[in-house]
Amino acid sequence: MGEARRIFAQGFPAEAIAITLELLAGFVLVSMASSLEKITGLLILIPAFLEMRGDISGSYASRLGTALHQGIIAPELTLSDELKQNLLGTYALALAESLLIGFAAYAVCLLLGFPNPSLPTIVAISLLAGVLSSVLMTGLVTASAIFVYSRGLDPDTVLGPYINTMGDVVGMLSLFLAVLVVGGWL
């Protein structure tokens, strides 16, 4: 029963914070209403983009948690070879998936007959948002994992809900900024 209490004590506050922060992601989505009306492809892009952001960041957090537990990565903010390799893999995956999601959103718009922006526009929005959110999320995940671990908490228990939620918040903010930069529609 002691292990269950520990998991609950560490996980419940993270879940409560995650639920609260999801409201911020919803606020950003509502703020994008005019862009969503003009760029129908964003409606198709957003769910896949947010899922990608959570999956990639969650996997990265899990790898960091394991590496910290095994002593492969020291609980300090230094760029070890292991951390560099994890960052490179995470960035490559985010770039490839952002590109794929941009093409897929465009293709779905065409197949369903939705009005959509040009292929370069929707792909540029997806790529820019993917790069921006990856840089922000890897920094946040790295600092959070090290902070949580150095406080004697289990990163695997605490970071899951927190990182997935922050992925939604950062993902929506990144998409919002990408739309502003690429199209200036807002």
Share of the chain above pLDDT 70, in %: 84
- pLDDT at position 31: 73
DSSP helix, strand, coil percent of the chain (3-state; round to 5): 85, 0, 15
Q: Does domain 2-182 have CATH number 3.30.70.2740?
A: no
- pLDDT at position 97: 95
Radius of gyration of the chain measured on its C-alpha atoms: 18
Give the span between the Cα atoms of 95 and 86, in whole angstroms.
14
Q: What is the mean pLDDT of the chain?
A: 84
Measured from the Cβ of residue 72, the count of other Cβ atoms closer than 10 Å reads 15
Mean pLDDT of 45-62: 88
Taking the domains of the chain in order of start, what are their residue ranges? 2-182
Give the span between the Cα atoms of 64 and 27, in whole angstroms.
30
Q: Is the pLDDT of residue 151 over 50?
A: yes
Provide DSSP, 24-89. Answer: HHHHHHHHTHHHHHH-HHHHHHHHHHHHHHHHHHHHHHHHHHHHHHHTSS-SSS---HHHHHHHHH
Give the DSSP letter of residue 118.
Answer: -
